[in-house]
Structures are given as C-alpha cells and as structure tokens.
Amino acid sequence: MTDCCIVGGGVIGLSIARELAGRGLTVRALARDAARDTTSWAAAGILPPAPQQPGLSPNAALTAWSDRLMREWAADLLVETGIDVGLRECGGLHVAATAAALERLRGTADTWRRRGARCDWLDAAALAACEPALAGAVAAGHLLGGFVLPGELQVRPSRLLDALERSCELRGVVIETADVARIEVRDGRVTGVVVDGRPGAETVQAAAYVLAAGAWTERLAAPLGLRLETRPIRGQIVMLRLPRPVLGRVVNRGLDYLVPRDDGRLLVGSTLEDAGFDPEPTATTIERLQGVARDLLGDAAEAPVERVWAGLRPGSADGLPTIGRAPGIRNAFVAAGHFRAGIHQSAGTAVLVADLVTGRPPTLDPSPFAADRPPAPPGPDSVAAMLARAAGVDA
Ligand SMILES: Cc1cc2nc3c(=O)[nH]c(=O)nc-3n(C[C@H](O)[C@H](O)[C@H](O)COP(=O)(O)OP(=O)(O)OC[C@H]3O[C@@H](n4cnc5c(N)ncnc54)[C@H](O)[C@@H]3O)c2cc1C
C-alpha cells in the first residue's frame, strides 16, 4: 500500500510530496488542476527578508526557517532537475506617494530594523538614483521617498512548480489528475479518498493522508471534524512585456507592487478581494493595475499586456496556516491556509509535515499551527486585517 496520499498539487502539496519521497516513503499526489491553474502558479514570488532571531512570532519563525530551507532547496533543485527556480536577492524598494504614507513607512522601516533586516532610508532623490526608471515619478512629485530592503528575494513560482514536479517524479512520486469528492473516515481513521468521475468512483487508499488543497481544504476537511477556515481571497496580476528590464528591484507601494523579471517581463499586482471561488480577472482591476505601472514608470509602462491572471489565496482567520495532525484521526494531516506567504513558507511546511508524518521530532514547534489550537483574535496576517488594510490603504 502507498505510504502517503497527498491531496493537492500546489506548492504546498508538491513540496510535502518531495520531502516525504526523499525520506523513502511511497507517495501518491492527487490534484484536480494542472500546475499552471493553481494559486501557487499565480503568485508573484516575493520573499521579504526573514532573518532568524529570538522572539519571532510563530508565523515569522516559520517564514524565517522556510526562507533558509528555500535557499538550500533552490540549489538542490537545480542540481536534481536542471531547473533554475529564479531565486534572486534582487532587493525591494518600498515607496510612498503621500506625506501620510511616508510617515507610516518610517514606522515600517523601524520594524524591519528591529527584526534584524538591513533597511536603508531614501529621500526622493536617492530613490531616483537607486532606480532610475522611477525618476519621472519622483520629478512629478508622485514619489516622496521610502526605503530599500537589500535582502528582499524573488523566486519564479512557475519554475518552482516545474522543478518540484520534476523532482517528485525523479523520487518516484505518482502525480495524478484527480478531483477528490470526499474523504472517508471510519473508527478514527481515514479509510480512503473518493475520486470523482472515475468508473466506479475509485477510492484511493494509503497508510497516511495529507490535505493540502489550498482554499478548497476547508470543505474537504469537514468529514475529519475539522472547522478550518481557508477562505479564498482573490489576487490579480497583469504581466507586461517590456523590451528590456527597466527595474532591478521589486517596487512596493502600499499593497501594489512591480516585480521585474530578468527577461523584461514585469508583473504588476495585486488585489485582495473577497470574491468567493471566482478565479477570473476583471477588466476594472486590469485597468487599475496598468495605471499603477504608468504612475510609477511613465512611458516605460506602455508595453503590451502579455497575460493577466488571478489566484485564490487560502486565507486563515487568525493569520496562521494550519499544519498538523487532524485531531482524533490517527492517519490524517493538514497543511493549508498559508494566505499571502505560501510560496515563502512552502519548504518549512513540507519539512514540518514530513516530521509529523514520519514521527521524527520536529525542528520547529508545531503547536501554534495545530488544527485544534484555541481560537485567537485575527492577527496582522489574517484575512480580516488584510482586507481592512486593502480597503483603507493610503499609498
Ligand atoms: C496574486 C497572488 C500573489 C501572491 N504572491 C505571493 C508571494 O509573493 N509570495 C508568497 O509567498 N505567496 C504569494 N501568494 C500566496 C501563495 O500563492 C499561496 O499561499 C500558495 O500558493 C498556496 O499554496 P497551496 O498549495 O496551499 O494552494 P494551491 O496552489 O491553491 O494548490 C491547491 C491544490 O489543491 C488541488 N485541489 C483543490 N481541491 C481539490 C480536489 N477536490 N481534488 C483534488 N485536488 C484538489 C488544486 O488542484 C491544487 O493543486 C500569492 C497569491 C496570489 C493569488
């Protein structure tokens, strides 16, 4: 019998599959959608600095640990698969367009320094010198200053998924297209997952099961007695095709950002929308995002739109992902609710889940992420806090 069946073929499911197979387990991963239709593929791939230091919140500790692991995974994946996942320390600029936003950024800069990240304050002239493509916006008085985080990274999510998929295959993971209809539970054990649309409604059986189905986990986990909230929060992105790269760094203005790729492509994002399971980009948002690029880059942003897309982030009520055993069920585990940080937290989540599945003492304390943790007020990374920020943001 298969050792572990994973439901989910996004960055979380594939990372867990890779880690478990690397530890010698036989793994079957079931995914309804092709990798390029997942939220993981839709991500921008921004990895803010995550220095490891004492006293971090559980979420920050997971990110810091995962950040370190991702650097190792990127190097290993290149050797193993030949695919460069595009992990680059490109740095990130955080800029303000109004006096009020500039004041807020001063507070944010202090927070980054307290967290141990290098953070250099820039006045408007220094901003233009740092990224000459912003000089027009500075001269027009549209950018007043900000700061640079030299340690901000970017990764190419599409390539990360390709590399994870290839690595899984090389490690013997069986990845199947399958729409899981429900999970069957008897006497405190999962006895199988029932796949829709197959003759006789096939039941896939394994010794252990991991639910890593992103925003869809809430519904699938209900038969396990779990009340998870993985509310879908839509994010849209416009990709422009510039003839050559005009920016070196990621540029963040409030919740909007520009992410330059080495090949001249420029991602313009994003939104935080409570739109249910509707995965379609909208004309008004596409127009708004093109406006963001024009505000910041002027004529340089008058480039063809190569593609637009949207993804459904798996939200979490308190702001923490759920990673752990389903309470009262001996052979089922959950890894979901990573909201805006699933790419960044993927490697750490995979190692933590693999430790729990194989009974190895975990490197990171899993208790803050437990499925039966006590309800807590929404934290700064929660859906409620981020939707409030998106509604009231003053760039
Ligand atoms: C616009 C945007 C920008 C983002 N930017 C960043 C960023 O810069 N940095 C960062 O760290 N994160 C970012 N994120 C967040 C990140 O993308 C998510 O946190 C992460 O992708 C979640 O991964 P996942 O594997 O849990 O979910 P998904 O990628 O949604 O994968 C879920 C998987 O479950 C499968 N599935 C669902 N239901 C079923 C079923 N019934 N049967 C079988 N399979 C099923 C799906 O087919 C899919 O394979 C961004 C997200 C968006 C939308």
The string of pLDDT tens digits covering residues 152-203 is: 999 999 999 999 999 999 999 999 999 999 999 999 999 999 998 766 668 9
Q: Whose CA is nearest to atom 37 of ligand 1?
A: 213
Q: Which atom of ligand 1 is nearest to the CA of 154?
A: 8
Ligand 1 contact via 10 beta carbon (within 6 Å):
yes
Tens of pLDDT, residue by residue over 36-74, are 999 999 999 999 999 999 999 999 999 999 999 999 999
CA distance 315 to 234: 10
Region 11-23 average pLDDT: 98
Neighbours of 132 (CB within 10 A): 12
Name the residue at shortest CA distance from atom 50 of ligand 1: 43
Q: How high is the pLDDT of residue 200?
A: 60
Mean pLDDT, residues 310-334 taken together = 96
pLDDT at 212 over 50: yes
Q: Is beta strand 203-204 parallel, antiparallel or unpaired with respect to 189-195?
A: antiparallel
Kindly tell me if the per-residue pLDDT of 393 is higher than 80. Answer: no
Six-digit token pair at 366?
């899993």
Q: How much is the mean pLDDT over the chain? A: 95
Across 216-239, average pLDDT: 95
Predicted confidence (pLDDT) at residue 395 exceeds the cutoff of 60 = no
- Per-residue pLDDT at 394: 43
Q: Where do we find the tokens 């959608």?
A: 33
C-alpha torsion 360→362→368→369, nearest 10: -60
Domain ranges of the chain: 2-85+156-230+318-375, 92-150, 232-314
Lowest mean pLDDT among 204-213, 345-354, 372-381: 372-381
SS3 content of the chain, % helix, strand, coil (to 5): 35, 25, 40
Residue 335 beta carbon below 6 angstroms from any ligand 1 atom: no
Q: Which CATH architecture has domain 2-85+156-230+318-375?
A: 3-Layer(bba) Sandwich (3.50)
Right CATH for 232-314 from 3.40.50.2300, 3.30.9.10, 3.40.50.300, 3.20.20.80: 3.30.9.10
Q: pLDDT category, 244, cuts 50, 70, 90?
A: very high
Predicted pLDDT at 202: 87
Q: Rounded mean pLDDT of 273-299?
A: 96
In whole angstroms, give the CA distance from residue 241 to residue 68: 32
Mutate to test the pocket of ligand 1, among 173, 343, 369 (most ligand atoms within 8 A of CB): 343
- The whole-number pLDDT of residue 230 equals 96
pLDDT for residue 374 is more than 50: yes
What is the model's pLDDT at position 199?
Answer: 62
In 10 A of CB 244, how many CB atoms? 7
117 Cβ below 6 A of ligand 1: no
pLDDT for the residue 148: 98
Mean pLDDT of 139-163: 97
Q: Using CA atoms, how far apart are residues 64 and 58, in angstroms rounded to an integer?
A: 10
